[in-house]
Structure 1
Amino acid sequence: MFSAKQTAEKNASSLINFSLKYFDTDSKKFPCNCWDGVFYLNLFNRIKDLSSMQKLEFTSNRSRTLRSHPIEWHNTSENGFGFPMEEQIVDVPYQFSLSANDKGRVHGFFILNTFYLVWLDKNHALYPDK
């Protein structure tokens, strides 16, 4: 029988984790200071829910609720995230929605099973034509 700590350690190595290491707090296009408390509550609830998923489940999930999919830069208003050494660090950029009824998106990328959050996109600004 596993202890609670052993179970938590096992989950940490197999389930999605989140990091703010590359979070862009200075972006003019994706400002993080224009959101209200409800948004942040929705964000934290979404992250909590995703933390119980494995990466493969997330990357293969095409539900309208999650709307997770790779970002194809040629279809967007940006050429990339724009941080140093990005080409060497980011394999596939990803996005997901906050909820089925919310236009807000979270953009970032995976390294192993850690999702590095880069932008919070309240108005779908990465895809201005949609």
Structure 2
Amino acid sequence: MEPQQAPSSRIKSTKVEPPRGVSFSYRYFQDSNNKFSISNKDARYLEAFIQRLRDLSTMTVNEISVTNAKSLRCHPIDWNQTSEPCFDLPNEEQLVDTPYQFQLSSNEHGRVHGFFIENVFYIVWLDPDHKLYS
């Protein structure tokens, strides 16, 4: 008796262009750090966060970190001027070239801290209360 073959799929594959903008990853997200917690934030915070990521995902790394850096308050993090010495990630020296932050909205919802690897921004901390910088 010969093994049966699965019927061919009738779903046609679709060729999709790769996204032009930045993608976001939570691979290194640290939600257990009480200093950078959103546990007491309301739905307005979450809404601002999702909208900001949506808007940034239409931009390139250069558009975020250079062209629109001032309006987004996107800039490298200078650990010497912060309350933390680093992200404290395993192999951080090899992983993080330049740590960055950007604002969610004009001073109301704080900042997002992380780093770029190519066109992916790895979110490490959500800082709704501006606790990284004094």
TM-score, reference length from structure 1 = 0.86
Q: Report the Cα distance in structure 1 between the residues aligned to 2:41 and 2:109, rounded to whole angstroms.
A: 13
Q: CA deviation at 1:34?
A: 1.9
Instruction: Name the CA distance, whole Å, in 2 between partners of 1:117 and 1:5.
Output: 29
Between the aligned partners of 1:103 and 1:35, the Cα distance in structure 2 is 9
**TM-score between the two structures when normalised by the length of structure 2:** 0.84
Corresponding residue number in structure 1 for 2:3: none
Deviation at 1:103? 4.7
Question: Any runs of at least 4 consecutive aligned residues in structure 1 with deviations exceeding 4 A, and if so which?
Answer: none
Matches of 2:131 and 2:118 in 1, distance apart?
27
Report whether the alignment pairs 1:109 with 2:127: no
Separation in structure 2 between the aligned mates of residue 45 and residue 97 of structure 1, nearest angstrom: 12
| Aligned partner of 2:49 among 19, 43, 47 | 43
Given that 2:22 and 2:56 are in contact with CA atoms closer than 8 Å, whether structure 1 keeps it comes out as: yes
Q: Following the alignment from structure 1 to structure 2, what is the Cα–Cα distance between the partners of residues 45 and 5?
A: 27
Overall identity of the aligned pairs, in %: 47
In the alignment, which of 13, 27, 33 is matched to residue 33 of structure 2?
Answer: 27
- The match for 2:16 is 6
Structure 1 letter corresponding to 2:100: Y
1:81 pairs with 2:92:
no
Whole-Å Cα distance in 2 between the matches of residues 67 and 78 of structure 1? Answer: 19
SS in 1 for 2:34: coil
Give the number of aligned pairs: 121
Unaligned runs of 5+ in 1: none
Contact 2:103/2:109, CA 8 A, preserved across alignment? yes
Partners of 2:107 and 2:128 lie apart in 1 by: 13
Aligned alpha-carbon RMSD (Å): 1.6
